[in-house]
């Protein structure tokens, strides 16, 4: 690739594709902090979880996790006593665990229509 095509040359002669300004939705790329914050704020303003997650190309569980992390951090910033890193880690892990348990019924509901088709494994109760 030549310089005029927008790539950036790396050490060793490898080239990097031009930056697009953000992660491509649904492509497994990293989402910027700003895009995550914007998505969480959409949820907090009352927009539908499924609609926002589909628009970003991420799962509802991922978006819920971002929201829970955002709210936990916001709540922690309102305390008068500073929490140590162990307390913050504990709260973050509790929020993640709670999110996993909340996402489980959604996952099962999404799998039910697929059950019975050949090659698919039954999701237990």
pLDDT band at 47 (very low <50, low <70, confident <90, very high): very high
Domain contains 5: no
The tally of domains found in the chain comes to 1
Residue 84 domain flag? yes
Q: Is residue 38 part of a domain?
A: yes
Q: What average pLDDT score do residues 74-84 get?
A: 74
* Nearest-angstrom CA–CA distance, 16 and 80: 46
Of 66 and 23, the structure prediction assigns the larger pLDDT to: 66
Question: Quick one: which of 3, 37, 34, 33 has its CA closest to 18?
Answer: 3
pTM: 0.44
What is the per-residue pLDDT for 4? Answer: 46
pLDDT over 70 at 51, yes or no? yes
Asked whether residue 85 is domain-assigned, the answer is yes
Q: Average pLDDT for residues 70-90, to the nearest whole number?
A: 79
88 in a structural domain: yes
Domain assignment present for residue 19? The answer is no
């Amino acid at each position: 690739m030549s310089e005029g095509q927008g790539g950036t040359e790396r050490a060793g002669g490898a080239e990097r594709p031009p930056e697009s300004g953000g992660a491509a939705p649904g492509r497994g790329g990293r989402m910027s902090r700003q895009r995550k914050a914007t998505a969480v704020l959409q949820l907090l303003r009352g927009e539908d979880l499924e609609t926002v997650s589909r628009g970003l190309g991420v799962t509802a569980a991922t978006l819920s996790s971002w929201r829970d992390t955002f709210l936990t951090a916001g709540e922690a910033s309102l305390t008068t006593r500073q929490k140590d890193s162990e307390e913050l880690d504990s709260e973050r892990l509790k929020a993640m665990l709670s999110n996993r348990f909340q996402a489980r019924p959604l996952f099962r509901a999404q799998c039910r229509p697929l059950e019975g088709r050949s090659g698919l494994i039954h999701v237990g109760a």
